[in-house]
Structure 1
Amino acid sequence: MSPNESVILNRSNINDQGLYSLTCGSVAKLIQLNVIISSEKSVTEGEAAGFTFHYFTAGKLGRYRVERNKQLVFELDLTSGNTSQGSGFENRTSVAPHWRSDGDLTLTLQRVKPEDRGDYIVQVFKDNKREHVQAVRMRVSPTPNTEDRNPEQITFTPQPPCKEKTALICVSVAAVLLIAGAFYCGQKNPRICVSGGAADGGAGTELEMPPYTDTPVPVVNGHA
């Protein structure tokens, strides 16, 4: 008992549930203690969450109700089978189709959103009294971020020089450059370097070539 005359029940379990009478002198007070079994659940955004709950439903009257932070999520009339869904949970909640014969009142919440996190109370009411209560604290994890990609960005991958299929292209390019270099050398210098010997493993050979001159146009009677 605490200093303010409150009775504290430590380490309570399911067997502590029941009706308690507190008497002080001539004053008696009745207190109904309900022990709630609680659990935790972690769900990734966009996935489905299931709140496991079983109850004796054969011929049973009452209402099956699920609340989040004291707001309606889902309610099922066990007599008529009519259902109600809370604001923000429309078309996302359901129970198994054979709940009446199987007693399986597990609630499925589809397409979980970040704002769905919170404390859920799953319970059955009969004659305005709670028959059975469970509590679930649900946490919602964000969807893993995917790497942002710019579709307009183009990345060029450098290719290895002269390998396999590209060898023929590389040889052709080298030949063109060699011919172009020889022509330029002939224009500027009568001495042209021929690299054939060097390519065969020997020293380069120099060939003496006459200077390049235009052939003069013969002059006849002073006219070209």
Structure 2
Amino acid sequence: MWLQRFAFILLCSGFAVQGGYIEVSVGDPVRFPETRTCATENAELSHHLAGDRDQLVARYQDGVWKPGPGYQDRMGPGTSVTLNTTYITDKGLYHLTCEKTPTQLDVVPFYEAEAAERKPATVHCYYGTAGRHVESVRWERDGKHVFEIKFSSNETTLGAGFEGRVSLPPESNKTGNFSLIFQWVLPEDRGDYRCYIQADGEKERGNPAAARLRVKEESPGQTTTAPQPASTTQKGPGDTGMGPWPIVIAVTVIVAALGTGFGWWLKSCCSNVPTSASSDEEHELEQPLNGAPPPLPHLPPGVNGRPPVNTPV
């Protein structure tokens, strides 16, 4: 099982082989392809170190390549030499007795970047452009073309699947910022990215030399199918995002207060005006409880319009 997993990692890793040049990200496996065709007994692959010293990496014996001292934990017997992992100290020239031309191994450090699926992301790359004539910038992922711009003609080419999604910052040739900007990322964008600058006729790597992009995929419950454009709504200095409700509440309180005050004022004005109702109430209080008419008042004779009655003495 571990052999299948290792083979998968080896095939998907970001190392690039071009003739006698191998480029690999630190920590990734690397295979020396020339060793497969070198099946001579006691053939050797050695790493040329400083001080004109050679360190044995592997020796071909009994039909297989066997690891040399110090490589047993990173290599097993096989038909070719493959290191399961690489160290930064593995960088340098490698000599194979079957080949006259040495192989240059370049172990590239990288930084890890993480982005959420269908969200913007930036993979950083910088280069000192002061006093240099930068001709072009090229981005690759796992050795495949992603983006390239030629500044003389301003011609831009994009790799398959990256159309309309990647670009460089404005005035990148002036600022030296050649970072790759994603409008949104997809799960298939994960991998090792490298930035190459062609300046004064020489091809160089930017800084950082490489980046490993990891993409956090959406959960199954999410239904987003396309990136949403950023909102263009502008907020004023006093806008808290609460909407018109504070104004509605304030107006309601003011109207209620004015209505209450007006009611009290109207009541106080009406209480000072005499009405006939009060006289009627006083008159009703004078009525006897049994419903009989009230007694007539004692009037002096002749007041009621009749002549006085002479009573016999």
TM-score, normalised to structure 1, is 0.51
Which amino acid in structure 1 is aligned with residue 212 of structure 2?
R
Is 1:104 the counterpart of 2:180? The answer is no
SS in 1 for 2:113: strand
Q: Which residue of 2 aligns with 1:189?
A: none
* Aligned counterparts of 2:147 and 2:216: Cα–Cα separation in 1: 23
SS in 2 for 1:131: strand
- Aligned in 2, Cα 1:30/1:56: closer, same or farther, shift over 3 Å? farther
Q: Which runs of 5+ in 1 are unaligned?
A: 149-224
Is 1:136 the counterpart of 2:208? The answer is no
Is 1:76 the counterpart of 2:149? The answer is yes
TM superposition shift of 1:46: 1.4
Which amino acid in structure 1 is aligned with residue 88 of structure 2?
S
2:116 to 44, 47, 62: 44
Q: Which residue of 2 aligns with 1:123?
A: 196
Count, aligned residues: 144
SS in 1 for 2:115: strand
Higher-Rg structure is 2
CA RMSD, Structure 1 to Structure 2 (Å) = 3.6
For residues 122-142 of structure 1, give each alpha carbon's deviation from its aligned partner in whole angstroms, at most 9, with x where no partner exists: 222468864116222212112
Q: Is the 8 A contact 1:60 1:78 kept in 2?
A: no
Which amino acid in structure 2 is aligned with residue 140 of structure 1?
V
1:57 to 126, 129, 141: 129
Is 1:2 the counterpart of 2:46? The answer is no
Which amino acid in structure 2 is aligned with residue 72 of structure 1?
H
- Aligned in 2, Cα 1:43/1:136: closer, same or farther, shift over 3 Å? same
SS in 2 for 1:91: coil
Q: Which residue of 2 aligns with 1:207?
A: none
Q: Which residue of 2 aligns with 1:12?
A: 88
Q: Is the 8 A contact 2:194 2:205 kept in 1?
A: no
TM superposition shift of 1:92: 0.9
- Aligned in 2, Cα 1:57/1:75: closer, same or farther, shift over 3 Å? same
Which amino acid in structure 1 is aligned with residue 108 of structure 2?
I
Which amino acid in structure 2 is aligned with residue 40 of structure 1?
E
Q: Is the 8 A contact 1:21 1:29 kept in 2?
A: no
1:34 to 106, 115, 132: 106
* Aligned counterparts of 2:151 and 2:161: Cα–Cα separation in 1: 23
Which structure has more relative contact order (CA 8 Å, sep 6+)? It is: 1
SS in 2 for 1:115: helix
* Aligned counterparts of 1:101 and 1:69: Cα–Cα separation in 2: 28
Q: Which runs of 5+ in 2 are unaligned?
A: 1-55, 61-66, 72-82, 224-313
Q: Is the 8 A contact 2:88 2:109 kept in 1?
A: no
